[in-house]
Amino acid sequence: MRSGYSIHWTDHALWELGKTISFLEEYWTKRELIKFTSDLEHTIELISKHPYIFQVSIEKEGIRKAGVARYNSLYYRITENTVEILSLFSNRQDPGKIMV
């Protein structure tokens, strides 16, 4: 069995991740930050092993959407051997701001 797809974060997705972590550090507890990080790592692992498990995005063709935590969604696309993380979107924002 295949060990999984490699994961590649776009610059935009990394920027959103940094922004999310900064927000959590400032406004949430350390326990909540650890929970979010664990949820994110678990979601990334699932995507790497089973990239087709999450729903196809209704917003953009060829993009999939995985819920990470209550307030965040991960948008990604699958290529031959790679999963490209496009966005770590805060669901509290206007959906029109999704950059995928």
What is the phi/psi pair of residue 71, to 5°? -110, 5
**What domains does the chain contain, in order, with CATH numbers?**
6-91 (3.30.2310.20)
Write the CA distances from 15 to 5, 49, 73, 81, 83, integer angstroms. Answer: 22, 24, 15, 24, 18
Residue type, 82: T
Sheet containing strand 82-90, strands side by side = 6-9, 82-90, 72-78, 64-69, 55-56
- Residue-wise pLDDT for 63-94, tens only, equals 999 999 888 999 999 998 899 999 998 765 54
> Would you say residue 99 has pLDDT above 60?
no
Q: Is the pTM of this model over 0.75?
A: yes
Contact 63, 57 (CB under 8 A): yes
- Residue-wise pLDDT for 15-54, tens only, equals 999 999 998 899 989 999 999 999 999 999 999 999 999 9
Alpha carbons 41 and 22: distance in angstroms, whole number: 17
